[in-house]
Amino acid sequence: MYPVISRHLISASAVLLSVTLIAPAAYAQSRAETLRYVTAATVNTLDPNIPGSTREAFALSMSSYDRLVSFGRKQLNGKWVFDLDTINGELAESFSVSPDGLKLTFKLRPDAKFHDGSPVTAEDVKWSLDRCVTAPVLGKAQLLTGSMTSADQFKVIDPLTFEVTLPRPDKLALPNLATVYPIILNSKLAKSHATPEDPWALSWLKENEAGSGAYIVETFKPGEQAIAKRNEAWNRGSSDKPASFKRLIIQSVPEAATRANLVERGDADLVIDLQASDVQALEAKGKLKVISTPQYNAVTFISMNNKIPPFDNVNVRRAVAAALPYDDMFKAALFGRGAPLFGASWTDGKPPSGGYPIPQPVKLDLEKARAYLKEAGVPEGFATTFSFNVGQASTAEPMAALVKESLEKIGIKVDIQKLPDAQMSTAINEKKLPFFTEGIVAWLPSTDYFYRNFYTGNQRWNYSSTDNAELEKIAQAARFEPDKAKYEAEGKELNAIHFEQMFQVPLWQPAQDAVMAANLDGYVYQFTRQVDYRNLSRK
């Protein structure tokens, strides 16, 4: 009996040894050349245009597809962020805007190739943009904000020249072409998978990629991971080089604590969605690089529905604004990580700038709050519900508790309502919630864009159900305002109306905390609030 057992033992320990010694050595090299990115969410489509696509899907498509142009970067308080005002060519070698602002002309790179080796032509660009404004895709509504609505506006001049015609000069036309939707697809490949019911190959492109971007998608398992390899022929990177990492692994790890462990142990290279408390702990240990950028194109609000009593009374809204415990909420929800939008002092009560958002002159002042309530005719207070999204519970829950506690002091009884994500979206869309917290993001954060999208119309994003004729008039006029000084003045007017009417209360811009291996370089905060993998390298 004995010899048999010992032979088993020997082979078992041999296997063990080979696993512990040989295998890690074999992985080691590929690990150094691989970027492993762990995230809470999941890549659910390879085509960002599909309704329901996640931010992770946007991030992957930024790397697997090219657009005509892309945003540059700038420094903001020592951190790199995307720069809306610098537009660089991506597939376009050069581009020009006609003097009257009505024609955008793009010269394509002659050496650009799709992943299957075929050249990128103006025909492909036309088909892709036609798709964006014609097919039932997300790009349609986005390009509308840049005055691009019809396939007639896109013209092939020659195989490498492409032209966009605009009905009027629109400063958001060019930046729109740098967003995630107007991807340039390999039209021949895509068309070969189109069907009469699906002429734009939506279902095929959802699971297959037909791009020319820096990374070629190898495996795509929604809910688990996506793996991409470097496109060696891609030369749109800095100093005309391919991307730095050979491979890219985007992995879904739902548990925040596990994500933190992974990055701390060096098994993951980068994570952007950790709990604020974990980020703080990791930062204190000092082993990892933590780049914390206020999301300067995002705002977290406390919204009040201006059409539901008693919030239809401006003095009630003012009372709430004066009774919010701003500092405590900022500390409890975000551990102070982000840019506060409260506690400002506006000299002579006028907004100091026409930008959006700007810090508001609000602070906790219960006396003032009581006075406003009296003026509103409800000195005894009232009862209401405060809703938030389960998905945002880690920040919204402590915040809601503080809101309830503070408002109780001026007689407003708050019932906290925690809603599943889909239910919250539905209630907001139907304008049923009186009092809640939400966050907004604009990819192209200009003052008029914010005001038009979030403060006008009967659309979902008008959280506070604002209906103010003057605000709407100025916001619409500002959209096509070519004069910078006038635009700034209009922005100040909008900001003044906002504060005067207190439609909702901007709280802060949460920080995007990117926690990464110390030797990782090149992180830039992006308009998608995601990582642009093409920027990153290992020192």
Partner 1 sequence: MGTIGATLIRAGRRFLSSLPALFGVLVFTFLLMRVLPGDPAVFFASGPSAGKEEIEIVRKQLGLDRSLPEQLGIYLYDVGRGNLGRSMMTGQPVAKDLRQRLPASLELTLTALVIALIAAVPLGVLAALRPNSLLDHGVRLFCSLGVCVPTFVSGLLLIYVFYYLLGLAPDPTGRLDVFAPVPPARTGFLMVDFLLAGDFEGWWAAARQLMLPAFTMALFVIAPLARITRASMLVSLGSDFVRTARSIGLSRWQIVVTYALRNAILPVITIAGIVFSTMLGANVLVEKVFSWPGVASYALDALLVSDYAPVQGFVLLMASIFVVVNLLVDVLYGIADPRATVA
Q: Report the residue from 105, 235, 280, 423 that binds partner 1 according to the rule CB under 8 A.
A: 423
Strand pairing of 289-294 and 270-271?
unpaired
Judged by CB under 8 A, the chain residues 438 through 457 that form the site for partner 1 are: 441-443
Q: Can residue 33 be called a binding residue for partner 1 (CB under 8 A)?
A: no
Q: Can residue 147 be called a binding residue for partner 1 (CB under 8 A)?
A: no
Q: Report the residue from 136, 167, 199, 379 that binds partner 1 according to the rule CB under 8 A.
A: 136
d(CA 504, CA 376): 17
Q: Are 299 and 440 in contact (CB under 8 A)?
A: yes
Segment contacting partner 1 by CB under 8 A, of 15-23, 84-92, 325-333, 490-498: 15-23
Segment contacting partner 1 by CB under 8 A, of 80-88, 138-146, 323-331, 333-341: 138-146
Q: Are 66 and 109 in contact (CB under 8 A)?
A: no
d(CA 506, CA 499): 10
Q: Are 531 and 59 in contact (CB under 8 A)?
A: yes
Q: Report the residue from 140, 188, 418, 538 that binds partner 1 according to the rule CB under 8 A.
A: 140
* φ and ψ at residue 361, rounded to 5 degrees: -80, 60
Q: Are 163 and 129 in contact (CB under 8 A)?
A: no
Closest-CA residue to 76 (of 532, 449, 525)? 525
Segment contacting partner 1 by CB under 8 A, of 64-72, 259-267, 339-347, 380-388: 259-267
Angle CA(201)–CA(207)–CA(210) in degrees, nearest 5? 65
d(CA 400, CA 394): 11
Q: How far is the CB of 280 from partner 1 (least distance, A)?
A: 18
DSSP letter for 287, please.
S
Q: Can residue 50 be called a binding residue for partner 1 (CB under 8 A)?
A: yes
Give the x/- contact pattern for partner 1 in 218-237, rule: CB under 8 A: ---xxxxx-x----------
d(CA 285, CA 24): 27
Q: Report the residue from 132, 172, 249, 507 that binds partner 1 according to the rule CB under 8 A.
A: 249
d(CA 424, CA 438): 10
Segment contacting partner 1 by CB under 8 A, of 48-56, 85-93, 399-407, 408-416: 48-56
Q: Can residue 165 be called a binding residue for partner 1 (CB under 8 A)?
A: no
Q: Report the residue from 158, 207, 405, 408 that binds partner 1 according to the rule CB under 8 A.
A: 207
- Terminal-to-terminal C-alpha distance of the chain: 56
d(CA 119, CA 122): 10
Q: Can residue 44 be called a binding residue for partner 1 (CB under 8 A)?
A: yes
Closest-CA residue to 168 (of 488, 479, 485, 486)? 479
Alpha helices in 172-313 (DSSP H): 173-176, 187-191, 202-207, 256-264, 276-285
Closest-CA residue to 86 (of 486, 527, 485, 450)? 527
Segment contacting partner 1 by CB under 8 A, of 147-155, 410-418, 426-434, 507-515: 426-434
Q: Report the residue from 150, 385, 426, 519 that binds partner 1 according to the rule CB under 8 A.
A: 426
Q: How far is the CB of 213 from partner 1 (least distance, A)?
A: 19
- What is the total residue count of the chain? 539
Q: How far is the CB of 264 from partner 1 (least distance, A)?
A: 8
Q: Report the residue from 8, 27, 405, 415 that binds partner 1 according to the rule CB under 8 A.
A: 27
* φ and ψ at residue 531, rounded to 5 degrees: -90, 135
Q: Can residue 425 be called a binding residue for partner 1 (CB under 8 A)?
A: yes
The residue (of 330 and 454) whose beta carbon lies closer to partner 1 is 454
Q: How far is the CB of 216 from partner 1 (least distance, A)?
A: 18
3-state class (DSSP) for residue 311: coil
Q: Can residue 30 be called a binding residue for partner 1 (CB under 8 A)?
A: yes
In three-state form (DSSP H/G/I as H, E/B as E, the rest C), the secondary structure along 475-514 is HHHHHCCCCHHHHHHHHHHHHHHHHHHCCEEEEEEEEEEE
Q: Report the residue from 69, 253, 302, 515 that binds partner 1 according to the rule CB under 8 A.
A: 253
Q: Can residue 138 be called a binding residue for partner 1 (CB under 8 A)?
A: yes
Q: How far is the CB of 443 from partner 1 (least distance, A)?
A: 6
d(CA 228, CA 62): 12
Q: Report the residue from 6, 18, 394, 519 that binds partner 1 according to the rule CB under 8 A.
A: 18
Q: Report the residue from 198, 408, 415, 421 that binds partner 1 according to the rule CB under 8 A.
A: 421
Judged by CB under 8 A, the chain residues 351 through 390 that form the site for partner 1 are: 390
Can you name the residues that pair with 76 across neighbouring β-strands? Answer: 79
The residue (of 225 and 464) whose beta carbon lies closer to partner 1 is 225
Q: With CB under 8 A, what is the number of residues at the site for partner 1?
A: 63
Q: Can residue 479 be called a binding residue for partner 1 (CB under 8 A)?
A: no
Give contact residues for partner 1 (rule: CB under 8 A).
15-16, 18-19, 23, 27, 30-31, 34, 36, 38, 42, 44-45, 50-53, 136, 138, 140-142, 144-145, 181, 206-207, 221-225, 227, 249, 251-255, 257-258, 261-262, 264-265, 267-268, 390-391, 420-423, 425-427, 429, 441-443, 459-460
